[in-house]
Structure 1
Amino acid sequence: MNPPSPSALVPRPSACPGLLRIVPARDGGLCRVKLPGGRLTAVQARAVALASERWASGVLELTNRANLQLRGVRPEGAAALVAALQAAGLGPSDPAADDVRNLLLSPAAGRDPQQLRDVRPLAAELLALLEGDRRLHGLSPKFALQLDGGEALARLDHAHDVWLSARAEGYVLGLAGIPLDAPVGLIVPGQEVATVTRLLHRFLDLAGPEQSRMRQLLAQRPVAELLAGLDLLPVPRSPRAAAATELRLGSHLQLQPGHCWIGAQPALGRLPATSLAAVADLAEHHGNGDLHLTPWQGLLLPDVPTDKAQALLTALTTLDLTTDPAAPLARLIACTGSQGCAKGQADTKDNALRLAERLPADLEVHLSGCPRSCALAGQAPHTLLAVAPGRYDLFVRDTTQPGPGRRRATQLSLDEAAAWLARSPSDA
């Protein structure tokens, strides 16, 4: 029997790519694989690499939600590619659930020495809820949850529709924001899944067609109406501490004695399929055979014996992966750009490579081909927004402004942008 075509399994119309919905892009079809907790086994990684080489461009993208994208999928190979990825265990248990498997946690969950709780068991329960409760399949493909265990390595600047954050007393609940925001209450310990279930059903009860995201609903209805029927306790006084994102690259000691995790990042989030297969081999040889994708478009290899750390770092560097958080390319984010996206106004990937060595130390810059800013959630400290090939408007972070922030200069060439960014922060 021939495998079903991706279009035959699409649960509903959407512009968002998925495993079962390959959407067209300038460089071919785009297939997005959502990973549970960002986890990919070595066997699955090799299956992805082989599928990309056989039926796509051989280029993979790591996303800011710790997922994978296969680019350049050829129409005649789409069904075979989907079938191969499903056979590797990368699909949902219910095809209609593919869109809603949006749960972000720290790539170091269960291993971070600073964590307050190991969130992995609760994450598995929440993912089972999203897949198993068919009414929740009506949530928007962009509707997302975050589960924060208090880890030192955590993405805390990426807003989610619903977030749970660990405290000494249990998990606090937040809406349409980040774990550094004020929560709406403390969940009764042991009632986390039941509370999230009631909350998501209540959201679907109240939300209209134009309110697919939590922030849209809360702009129209009071939060008390959404929380009606939820048994929440007063918020504890202890706030969430800031995270240390430099832990995403290099070698760092785990909670488990004698072991560390190793973080690495491909240039601008793009990884050749051959490199992914090689990293899978390294994960088996030096670690536990798992790869964890990170929301910084990188990879984390856990459970590496400390005496093997240096050899693994050297091997990853040989594959052109960055392991130094101070490296120029570690501070740059660029969307697909005009080479792969019809909306892109400039070749952002190439421009970012040309800009990298000219940036001041510790300066974070996002190059976006259009105002959608697909490669970055929220605002970057500095954003170059393409307005024409090789031309950018410069923005600086200003949370009182919509979009990328406050515009400081227009129509800059790369040379002019580099000169602006080389100035002191007070000037830029």
Structure 2
Amino acid sequence: MPTPGVSIRHHDDLLSALHREGVEKLVSGFTACPGLFYATSAQDGILSRLRIPGGILNSKQCQAIAAIADMYGGGYVDVTNRANLQIREISKGISSEVLQQLQDLGIGSHNSAIDHIRNIMTSPTAGIDPEELIDTRPFVQSWDAYLAEHSELSALSAKFSVCFDGGGKVSVSDRLNDILLRAELSDTQVYFRLYLSFIKSKPPIDTGIILLPEQCLSVLAALADIYLQHTDVQLKRKPRLQEVINSLGYENYLQQVEQRLTFTLQRSQPSPATKEVGFWHIGTHPQRQENLFYIGVVLPLGRLESQQLRRLGDLAAKYGNGTTRLTPWQNLLITDIPQGCVIDVENEIADLGLDFTVTNIKSSLVACSGKRGCAASATDTKGHALALADYFKNRVQLNRPINIHLSGCAKSCAQHHQGDITLLGVSDRNIETYHIYVGDHDSHEKFGRQIYQNVSFTELPARIEQMLTVYKNHRLHHDESFTEFVNRYETTQLKQLFKIPNICVHLRSSVVVN
């Protein structure tokens, strides 16, 4: 098992980060994307990413990861937007013995050569969602096993990403992936509709192809094989799947895929538009299993202190089936809780200093690592996000989540899709400021429509508060989302609505760290 040594390189020697958060040169020399066996250097030390297929962890794994975060890192873990875990602030290399222990516990692939490939995504409520058409966990396991058994697939782009959606209430169909297989029902037969990525920074597009469940693995294997056939595997920077598809032509690519199959691909009329995701993964909800519930826990900016991770693992073992589930919204679920134990679990979650209410603004507040963890960031996004949450705590009451995304640079590592409100960090004469965008269904711009430029952080809380207040007062009904609301107005109209008099906000210096 390769266990490359890791060390922090002097920042003067670092190369520019092309597509990753704070990673300026690969320490292992193998891949530009971090993994368990391929640690990378970041502004705040060494970064190690634990790939968790489907986001499911058992209690023993939680304990082991918490111990490593304490022993080697900063005493915390971060949940990512692919339901991975990151350990940051690592000051010394993790030994090969520890890596082997993690493998023995099922953390990281048993084939380290493919560990850098992007995590396999599925709904965090797979198998327990009352509305799902099919449990996608076996499909995640099958594709993960196929990758591990075929070392030649290590030549895939590290960003080669696959997602399974079981058609339930908690949908992941809008996440950015190269390949999406989304369940749908035709008569009494469940099919998976195939979506492929063609447009940068946009969700995959319906190909019109539907697959029987037993055909999915063969099609994924063929899609990967055709990619490798038309890619120089010696390239350090592999092209994205969408680049290869667009180069060959969409129909040509699919024809070559079909030639490798023992069955004919079935076409079907376009499926209905994907339902709005909502935030059904937050809060207490009944499972499809009688008298069992799951609780979605809000993790502030996706961060868990190591002692919180330990105790959540213990809670899952004591009250549930021993597993926790990470979400691509950077939160966490405890599942299979008997009805009579729900209140006890809720109380213990509160004792950890965590929350499980969907109205908590932190439930959909997202920030990258910011200038403390990333050399590319212009602003202290995490510090500013927590300060905003503290400011809004007693000022803004929400009946539904609003996705506020703080990005320290244009790469948008923490969230790859438009938010309701995006705050893009910029440095204006060495002052940390933000451009403010609102989500726009019809916009091809990465962050949506720009409303304001170079708003200082001193002005930012009152500015966002005014935007949220106007939304609450002018929305058509309680179920109208923020993005639906702003899409009813032209930019000039929104600026007029959002206009406020003199802005003067003083935040506690203990909260804001510049």
TM-score by length of 2: 0.78
Q: Alignment partner for residue 407 of structure 1, among 436, 450, 470?
A: 450
Task: Give yes or no for contact 1:151–1:243 (8 Å, CA) kept in 2.
Answer: no
1:40-189 alignment runs, 5 A limit: 40-77=57-94, 79=96, 81-100=98-117, 102-169=119-186, 170-176=191-197, 181-189=205-213
User: Deviations along 1:346-374, whole A, 9 cap, x unmatched?
Assistant: 11111111112337534321011111111
Counterpart residue number, 2:434? 392
Deviation at 1:82, TM superposition (A): 3.1
Cα distance change, pair 257–52 in 1 and its aligned pair in 2 (3 A):
same
Counterpart residue number, 1:32? 49
Deviation at 1:238, TM superposition (A): 4.3
Unaligned runs of at least 5 residues, structure 2? 8-26, 259-263, 471-485, 496-514
Q: Alignment partner for residue 418 of structure 1, among 452, 455, 461?
A: 461
Deviation at 1:250, TM superposition (A): 1.0
The whole-number CA distance in structure 2 between the counterparts of 1:199 and 1:17 is: 24
What amino acid does structure 1 have at the position aligned with 2:446? G
SS in 2 for 1:199: helix
- Tell me whether 1:336 sits opposite 2:369 in the alignment: yes
Cα distance change, pair 149–294 in 1 and its aligned pair in 2 (3 A):
same
Task: Give yes or no for contact 1:148–1:164 (8 Å, CA) kept in 2.
Answer: yes
The whole-number CA distance in structure 2 between the counterparts of 1:181 and 1:325 is: 30
Counterpart residue number, 1:198? 222
The whole-number CA distance in structure 1 between the counterparts of 2:93 and 2:216 is: 44
Percent identical: 32
Counterpart residue number, 1:266? 299
SS in 2 for 1:168: strand
Q: Alignment partner for residue 405 of structure 2, among 355, 366, 371?
A: 366
Task: Give yes or no for contact 1:180–1:242 (8 Å, CA) kept in 2.
Answer: no
**Aligned-CA RMSD value:** 2.5
Task: Give yes or no for contact 2:6–2:93 (8 Å, CA) kept in 1.
Answer: no
Task: Give yes or no for contact 1:51–1:84 (8 Å, CA) kept in 2.
Answer: no
Which has the higher mean CA deviation after the structures are superposed, 139-148 or 384-393? 384-393
Deviation at 1:150, TM superposition (A): 0.3
The whole-number CA distance in structure 2 between the counterparts of 1:13 and 1:201 is: 21
TM-score by length of 1: 0.92
Counterpart residue number, 2:482? none
Deviation at 1:5, TM superposition (A): 4.1
What amino acid does structure 1 have at the position aligned with 2:255? A
SS in 2 for 1:47: helix
What amino acid does structure 2 have at the position aligned with 1:354? A
- Tell me whether 1:281 sits opposite 2:314 in the alignment: yes
Choose 1 or 2 for highest CA Rg: 2
Counterpart residue number, 2:275? 242
What amino acid does structure 2 have at the position aligned with 1:109? A
Task: Give yes or no for contact 1:101–1:127 (8 Å, CA) kept in 2.
Answer: no
Task: Give yes or no for contact 1:148–1:179 (8 Å, CA) kept in 2.
Answer: no
SS in 2 for 1:340: coil
Task: Give yes or no for contact 1:253–1:259 (8 Å, CA) kept in 2.
Answer: yes
Deviation at 1:119, TM superposition (A): 1.4
SS in 2 for 1:408: strand
User: Deviations along 1:217-250, whole A, 9 cap, x unmatched?
Assistant: 2332311111014231122454254144321111
Cα distance change, pair 188–252 in 1 and its aligned pair in 2 (3 A):
closer
Deviation at 1:101, TM superposition (A): 5.2
Which has the higher mean CA deviation after the structures are superposed, 192-201 or 355-364? 355-364
Deviation at 1:158, TM superposition (A): 1.3
What amino acid does structure 2 have at the position aligned with 1:401? H
The whole-number CA distance in structure 1 between the counterparts of 2:93 and 2:204 is: 46
- Tell me whether 1:221 sits opposite 2:248 in the alignment: yes
Unaligned runs of at least 5 residues, structure 1? none
User: Deviations along 1:83-123, whole A, 9 cap, x unmatched?
Assistant: 44334321212110102252100011011011011112222
The whole-number CA distance in structure 1 between the counterparts of 2:128 and 2:203 is: 20
Cα distance change, pair 101–370 in 1 and its aligned pair in 2 (3 A):
closer
Cα distance change, pair 236–317 in 1 and its aligned pair in 2 (3 A):
farther
Deviation at 1:417, TM superposition (A): 2.6
The whole-number CA distance in structure 1 between the counterparts of 2:315 and 2:157 is: 37
The whole-number CA distance in structure 1 between the counterparts of 2:54 and 2:331 is: 14
The whole-number CA distance in structure 2 between the counterparts of 1:97 and 1:395 is: 37
The whole-number CA distance in structure 2 between the counterparts of 1:295 and 1:23 is: 22
The whole-number CA distance in structure 2 between the counterparts of 1:106 and 1:86 is: 24
Q: Alignment partner for residue 343 of structure 2, among 285, 305, 310?
A: 310
The whole-number CA distance in structure 2 between the counterparts of 1:340 and 1:180 is: 30
User: Deviations along 1:43-78, whole A, 9 cap, x unmatched?
Assistant: 000000011111111121000101100011112545
Aligned length: 427
Task: Give yes or no for contact 1:35–1:67 (8 Å, CA) kept in 2.
Answer: yes
Cα distance change, pair 338–180 in 1 and its aligned pair in 2 (3 A):
closer
Task: Give yes or no for contact 2:28–2:39 (8 Å, CA) kept in 1.
Answer: no
User: Deviations along 1:268-319, whole A, 9 cap, x unmatched?
Assistant: 1111111100111111111111011011101111111111112111211221
Counterpart residue number, 2:503? none
User: Deviations along 1:171-200, whole A, 9 cap, x unmatched?
Assistant: 111101788843331124522111211121
SS in 2 for 1:317: helix
Q: Alignment partner for residue 354 of structure 1, among 387, 401, 415?
A: 387
What amino acid does structure 2 have at the position aligned with 1:156? S
- Tell me whether 1:232 sits opposite 2:274 in the alignment: no
What amino acid does structure 2 have at the position aligned with 1:301? I
Which has the higher mean CA deviation after the structures are superposed, 386-395 or 36-45? 386-395
SS in 2 for 1:32: strand
